[in-house]
Chain A
Amino acid sequence: MIDFTQSQLERYSRHILLNSVGVEGQLKLMNSRVLIIGAGGLGAPAAMYCAAAGIGRIGVVDADAVEVSNLQRQIIHFTKDIGALKVMSAKDKIEAINPDVTVEPVRAFVQASNIEGIIDGYDFVIDGTDNFATKFLINDACVMKRIPYSHGGILRFNGQTMTVLPKKSACYRCVFHKPPPENMIPTCSEAGVLGAVAGMLGTIQAAEALKYITGAGEVLADALLTFDALPMNFRKVKLRKNPKCAVCSEHPSITRLIDGQQIVCDLKK
């Protein structure tokens, strides 16, 4: 059962030393699959720590190419990668960090029509997207397919994250119900973000994936962790599953995935 090479024993020695990870936990990591949606500010550090940890298979989903304005925070992409597809740039770095990892690059935007196929077979999903319609789509798809995932959001000096254990803990829709009207909430590309804040949040998301897979500690379920990096205050808001949640309650009103929910909501108003 234990079939580490000498080089793997050395590579993962600091994990193996941890009581709650150990050889067993490291084997679990090496046999696991993590999907990272968005190879941007959150997905970059998340992918790098998952790679370093020896996650067996890492899927990376993104349709964009690297731009110079990405480099201030998307640390998996280097100056030489400008113009390259983000998924290919990410694949190169993941393989350079750890050749044990198999990378599955998916050049696509997730949509209602493709998301179920994309997330299928993964043990854990990391949401690194910057678009509320997509965040709700990832939540709904993960709840429906019972795949645990980490929500992450950042803006300026602030971050928020929660881990969703479908049907067991509060989901993103329990908290936020539906996407805000379009253009109401500024995005990082409009309002800015401190690069290191993206690193903090994406790293927390990676830690959640590693904890979930190894079973170490307790994941950030039924709680929303928020932080403000200016005073460097962290706060954990306790959450409960919303019994009226449109997607994860006993009698959900959302039973199939749809695109463009923002528009639907606007029409209802």
Chain B
Amino acid sequence: MKLTINGEKKQVVQESVTVTELLADQGVEMPDTVSVQINGDFLERETFDTRVVRDGDEIDFLYFMGGGSWE
């Protein structure tokens, strides 16, 4: 199926994957800390294992970033 991940069109071999599987498939580091948006809606972390990604979905992985001055 075809997905848009972080703005880039990607072909994923599987026809049905969960968000957890997709995170692993895309080699996302520290998936426990990534926020996921599908078609503009945030997912609850608890649903990563069960939420199935569908053909045409637009998915954003958003990462924590610190930076600046150590407080």
A159 close to B (CB within 8 Å):
yes
Give the 4 A-B CB pairs with smallest separation, nearest first. A40-B69, A153-B65, A154-B67, A38-B69
A54 close to B (CB within 8 Å):
no
Contact B67 A193 (CB under 8 A): yes
Tell me the bound Cα distance from A129 to B64 in angstroms: 13
Interface SS of B by simple majority: loop
A131 close to B (CB within 8 Å):
yes
> B67 is contacted by which of A188, A235, A242 (Cβ under 8 Å)?
A188
Q: Which residues of B contact A160 (CB under 8 A)?
A: 63, 65
B33 close to A (CB within 8 Å):
yes
Q: Which residues of A contact B (CB under 8 A)?
A: 37-43, 62-64, 74, 86, 109-110, 127-132, 134-135, 152-155, 158-160, 174-177, 180-181, 184-185, 187-189, 193, 198, 201-202, 224, 226, 235, 237-240, 242, 244
Tell me the bound Cα distance from A198 to B66 in angstroms: 11
Number of interface residues of B (CB under 8 A): 23
Q: Which residues of B contact A (CB under 8 A)?
A: 6-7, 30, 32-33, 35, 37, 40-42, 44-45, 60, 62-71
Tell me the bound Cα distance from A21 to B14 in angstroms: 53
Q: With CB as the reference atom, state the residue of chain B lying closest to A153.
A: B65
Known pairs A40-B69, A64-B69, A226-B62; list 13 more (Cβ under 8 Å). Answer: A38-B71, A40-B70, A43-B69, A86-B69, A109-B71, A127-B68, A129-B68, A154-B67, A158-B65, A176-B62, A187-B70, A237-B6, A237-B37
Interface SS of A by simple majority: mixed
Q: Which residues of B contact A238 (CB under 8 A)?
A: 40
Q: With CB as the reference atom, state the residue of chain B lying closest to A40.
A: B69
> B33 is contacted by which of A37, A185, A202 (Cβ under 8 Å)?
A185
> B69 is contacted by which of A39, A153, A174, A237 (Cβ under 8 Å)?
A39
Contact A180 B64 (CB under 8 A): yes
Contact B33 A128 (CB under 8 A): no
Nearest-neighbour CB distance to chain B for A218, whole angstroms, equals: 18
Q: Which residues of B contact A135 (CB under 8 A)?
A: 66
Contact A185 B66 (CB under 8 A): yes
21 example contacts (A-B, Cβ-Cβ < 8 A) are as follows A39-B69, A40-B69, A42-B67, A43-B68, A62-B71, A63-B71, A131-B71, A152-B68, A154-B66, A160-B65, A175-B62, A180-B30, A180-B64, A185-B30, A187-B66, A188-B68, A189-B70, A226-B62, A235-B6, A237-B37, A240-B40
Contact B33 A41 (CB under 8 A): no
Nearest-neighbour CB distance to chain B for A140, whole angstroms, equals: 15
